[in-house]
Every structure is written in C-alpha cells, then in structure tokens.
Amino acid sequence: MTLDSSSSAAGASDPAPDHELLVECRDDGVAVVCMNRPKATNALSLNLQALLSKAFTELAANPQVRAIVLTGGDKVFAAGGDIKGLEGAGPIEIMERHTERVWAPIERCPKPIIAAVCGYAFGGGAELAMHCDIILAGEGASFSQPEIRIGIMPGIGGTQRLVRAVGKFNAMRMLLTGKPVTATEAQQMGLVSAIYPDDQVLPEALKMASLIASMPPLAVSQIKEVVLAGVDASLETALMLERKANQLLFATRDQKEGMQAFIEKRKPKFEGR
C-alpha cells in the first residue's frame, strides 16, 4: 500500500479494515508506516495491531529498508486500545489474544524505528511509541498511561518500558494518576528525544530516518542490538557485548569502505556487507 496523507485527514470516513495501516517504502531506504483510523483516533483495534505486526515482519525482512518512521498523522498518534473491544472480554480471552506475539515484530525489529508523535499518545499508543528507538514529538503532543482510570493497568510494556525510560518516580506519577504529560514534560523526563512544531514532526522524522538509512546497515543493527541487550545486563556483560560487536564490524566491507573514504576525504558507499 502507498501512504496517502489525505486519507488520514480529520473528518475522513473510516477506511476499510485493510486500509487502516498505510505503508510506503521510499527510495532512500526509509519506510513510513502510518496508522489510519482517523474517526477512531487511531485506537489500536485487533485488526490494526495485526496489520502493524504484519507490516513490521515484512519490513524487517526487506533488505531495501534501512530505517522506519511510525506515525499516526498530524492530528493524533494513537489514543489507546479499542475499549469497545475490551469491555466484555474475560481474562482467558485476553490471555489467548497473545498480544506479546502480535507486538513482537515491532519489539524485535532490527531496523531503527522513529516514532513521529503528534497529538495524543495515550495508553497503548504511548506503549507503541515506547517500542520505537527514537521518539520525536510535536509541540502539541501529550503522553499518558490512563488505564488505571478504567480499572486496569498497562499490558503491553507500559509499566516496564516507562520506568526504564523516565525512572521510578516519574513513571509512578503517570501510572497511578493516569494524567497526561506534555511533550515538554516528556522530554524533560527522558521519554521524548526532540520536539518540533506539529507540522514539522514528520518531515524531521523523515530527515533523521534518511540520515540513519545512509549509515552502514550492519553497524546500525549492531548498535541497536547491543544497546537493547545491554540495558538489563550488568555493566561488565554489556561492555563485553559492545567489544564483541565492535570487533565483528572490522570484518565488514563497510568498515573498510568507511575508513578508506574518511582518509580519502570522499563520501562512503555502504553496501551492508
């Protein structure tokens, strides 16, 4: 599918189920994944979650894709789970949905993912953003884990990724009050990487993704893998992982090309080999 920003404009009618997610693969190695449920504020229905899972599985396997931008458009990122689909569910049904399997292709994607967040990133929307590697937010963006207000709690990593991102005390405030934080507050906490005017979030995300896509792919993937693997390891173990990955990269053509290009003062041509 080709991304069409006009289809996600405010006031648009609900798209067909197979058009609730729009994917565009650009010539610069960047893929854009856009959630497209405008009337439902991109609520994460089971169908949308399945489409996200499928899209990230395919993008991870596509050698032409080197970086991914995830967005909900310029009005809203994702305003949480689909409450209508949860209200009557029992614990066994929730367990059998195996959301951990659905979200695994995003969590384990070897390509860097940039979340371009405008408007609400609430509940599952905030958890989805936290699955990404970099979060760029619009000035009007806000983040919240409001599950407590309806008698439940985050179930897609909100209690765990949030505390790792912002620390125990900021995480507890968000989790136990359900109150949203602004983009500025989120950046001060360490949740947001950078803030831009709302209409510049996607262009800036694409610019950053294009820059990352121009880097040697094997080095990019090793950096992401070591950072994520080392977060919960001891410092000694994490440093060992870093050394081994660094040593491995000296066996790549891209390392030879990068260093030779630096010496010759020319632009390198990286092949991912």
CATH number at residue 250: 1.10.12.10
Percent of the chain with pLDDT over 90: 77
Averaged pLDDT, 262-271: 91
Contacts of 45 (CB under 8 A, 6+ apart): 20, 37, 82, 85
**pLDDT tens readout for residues 13-48:** 567 777 899 999 999 999 999 999 999 999 998 899
Number of domains present in the structure of the chain: 2
Residue 106 lies in a domain: yes
Task: Judge whether 83 and 124 are in contact, CB under 8 Å.
Answer: no
What is the number of residues in the chain? 273
Task: Judge whether 42 and 79 are in contact, CB under 8 Å.
Answer: yes
- Given 177, 192, 213, the domain boundary residue is 213
Let me know whether 118 and 224 are in one domain.
Answer: no
Q: How many CA atoms lie within 13 A of 13 on its CB side?
A: 1
Let me know whether 132 and 229 are in one domain.
Answer: no
Rounded Cα–Cα distance for residues 173 and 168 (Å): 9
Let me know whether 206 and 223 are in one domain.
Answer: no
Task: Judge whether 96 and 76 are in contact, CB under 8 Å.
Answer: no
Q: Domain range for residue 64? A: 5-213
Residue 191 lies in a domain: yes
Residue 166 lies in a domain: yes
Residue 270 lies in a domain: no
**pLDDT tens readout for residues 73-120:** 999 999 887 666 666 667 777 676 667 788 999 999 999 999 999 999
CA angle 85, 91, 97 (to 5 degrees): 60
261: nearest Cα among 191, 214, 226:
214
Higher-confidence residue: 79 or 180? Answer: 180
**pLDDT tens readout for residues 110-138:** 999 999 999 999 999 999 999 999 999 99
Give, in order, the Cα–Cα distances in Å from 28 to each of 90, 118, 208, 215. Answer: 46, 24, 12, 11
